[in-house]
A and B are shown apart, each in its own frame.
Chain A
């Protein structure tokens, strides 16, 4: 009543945006280059931060050229860091608006929006005795969060990167090797070619006995899933995908955003989230890869196709769809 039509937090945010009870935000305190195109961003999260488990990721909302964009990045700092800060390590991908901004232009002092950390690409409660990490490129980031968190008895890592200088955390990994805390195989794909999954027998002869965490591009994970299944040990493989593997769905149709009163044509391969944003509808968004459910929206009419599985969802009362991984399967009506 004192502040109507605003709420008191609108004023408190002016002086203390990271206070307890505020919408969760963080302040960038430093950006350290890791390789030519990767950097570690040190963030002081707000007081409502609940902490993370090694291997989890966080959604971060960054204003790039004035536009708020949300992405998910793995947390690379250990869970017991004394100063309360957390780090994410970001690799700039070609044309990646957020990643390039964070690696090359982000400035200390900038506020970013945060969500609580999440994800189940984590270690079990009982630490396994024999571990294999199979990673490629920036797929090393959640694994680094684990390596920094716990000391293992027997841990092997196979990591792929184009060239030695592209290996993120290379000197830290080599230190671990020197201390005999890690056995490491680097695959330099520029010279060695893409890792043939069958080579695992030679690189890590006991791979099938190891609890394995794999993270990297879809090609590597598909190959790994196939290989582990073939040997009947798929329950030992844990994977984390950064992007959904998109099935071309065909169809498409006219999409109505009923709350905004807008109708646009959509093809069958573009996520409804992109369609909506392109049309200027305020779409809630999150990880953009189908895992955070931050974008769920009622489907009022019509049908959509899940781009990952091809599954068709038809409108029914109470049906929510994830707009980031759903495309129009014929005309549909989205309540936004």
Chain B
């Protein structure tokens, strides 16, 4: 889509060769999956559950401010672990090979208002297949934002920094609405579709359970700490939502990430599919703790190349993948979290204003930056 195609220097043969080299990286990981990996995910799940239990225990005394702080922090981290390193990755089938029915994509349910089943369809199936293809991959702006110059501007987009901020705060609800394709399905005629109604009902049930647990049962259990526990749970959900939203924004929105036209994926070869994933994703650099808290989505490029490889292996895969980027002279978009978040938000602001549809986009977009 970008007028200056950053992959133009590659021949068709090179692209297929690149595909074969990536397949080899994948095969090597699959051949070496084993006991250590299984022990890793079991340890993470057990740590998450213990942390959540202890944090909720501490919150029973949340009228005492230090307990509030400690409990809220612990619960926030536990919720982030549940959604990111565990939920997202288990639901990708990264751990299905263990044949443990308790840690399997068909049985896992997460602490999130979108039911696993629906999320797997919109995320694993649609987003991961049509990564960054305008009109096919709804993750591009979640249907409420314009994230590329070539998307048509509408006055609605003037408010997109605000929509994006609200979406960040209530991200899990945003995702649930997105999985339901609410925008498309709310018109009267569609609303009556029994399939949609069943899915909406499932979301309603899930929301009711989650809300009851977080905002009624646990505060009630806290007795005199009712209000402080309520505030703590709300805060933890807010922290988790903003954090996951930020991480996810960094995966596909920072400057330098490519988007694609519908017709560009017709008859796509394996090599071309890989190449699109490489050019359509961006990483976050940082410490091991940072990678862990992002659910290893800091290795978004590797995740998009190999969505079903166990997340704990992305770090070692990244070294090899990066070498391939260098070998084929491609840009590996990465940077520390603050930089990537700013970059993504910058784009949100910039594209909230109309732009002249560029015939040839210059790599230097200073002028538009000023306009934003």
Contact = CB atoms under 8 A, between A and B. Distances in A.
A68 B35 contact: no
Contacts of A125: none
B34 interface: yes
A63 B98 contact: yes
A5 B209 contact: yes
Nearest to B107: A282
Contact of A10 (B37, B38, B49): B49
A2 interface: yes
Interface string A234-245: 000000000000
B210 A282 contact: no
Interface in A254-292: 260, 277, 280, 282
A67 interface: yes
Contacts of B212: 1, 4
A66 B104 contact: no
Give the dominant DSSP class at A's interface. Answer: loop
Q: Which of A67, A277, A280 has the most CB of B within 10 A?
A: A67
B196 interface: no
Give the dominant DSSP class at B's interface. Answer: helix
Q: Which of A2, A5, A6 has the most CB of B within 10 A?
A: A5
A310 B307 CA distance: 41
Given A1-B209, A282-B104, A68 B46 contact: no
B101 A282 contact: yes
B111 A5 contact: yes
A69 B97 CA distance: 11
A11 B56 CA distance: 13
A6 B87 CA distance: 12
A301 B36 CA distance: 40
Interface size class, chain A: 10 to 19
B96 A282 contact: yes
Given A2-B218, A14-B46, A14-B49, A63 B35 contact: yes
B99 interface: yes
Contacts, number: 60
Interface in B75-105: 93, 96-101, 104
A282 B50 CA distance: 28
A280 B97 contact: yes
Contact of B50 (A14, A66, A280): A14
B38 A63 contact: yes
Interface in A43-79: 63, 65-69
Given A5-B109, A11-B49, A282-B101, A66 B38 contact: yes
A65 B34 contact: yes
Nearest to B53: A11
B217 interface: yes
B262 interface: no
Contacts of A66: 33-39, 97-98
B99 A282 contact: yes
Interface string A182-217: 000000000000000000000000000000000000
A5 B99 contact: no
Contact of B217 (A1, A11, A14, A69): A1
Given A63-B98, A282-B99, A4 B209 contact: yes
Interface in B200-254: 206, 209-210, 212-213, 217-218, 221
A68 B98 contact: yes
Nearest to A3: B213
A2 B217 contact: yes
A11 B48 CA distance: 10
Given A2-B213, A4-B210, A67 B97 contact: yes
A280 B50 CA distance: 31
A1 B213 contact: yes
Interface string B7-46: 0000000000000000000000000011111110000001
B118 interface: no
Nearest to A280: B96
B106 interface: yes
A203 B17 CA distance: 69
Nearest to B108: A5
A282 B104 CA distance: 8
Interface string A1-31: 1111110001100100000000000000000
Interface of B: 33-39, 46, 49-50, 53, 93, 96-101, 104, 106, 109-111, 206, 209-210, 212-213, 217-218, 221
Given A4-B210, A5-B209, 19 more contacts: A1-B212, A5-B110, A5-B210, A10-B49, A11-B49, A14-B49, A63-B38, A66-B36, A66-B38, A66-B98, A67-B38, A67-B97, A67-B98, A68-B99, A69-B99, A282-B99, A282-B101, A282-B104, A282-B106
5 contacts: A2-B221, A5-B109, A11-B49, A14-B46, A66-B39
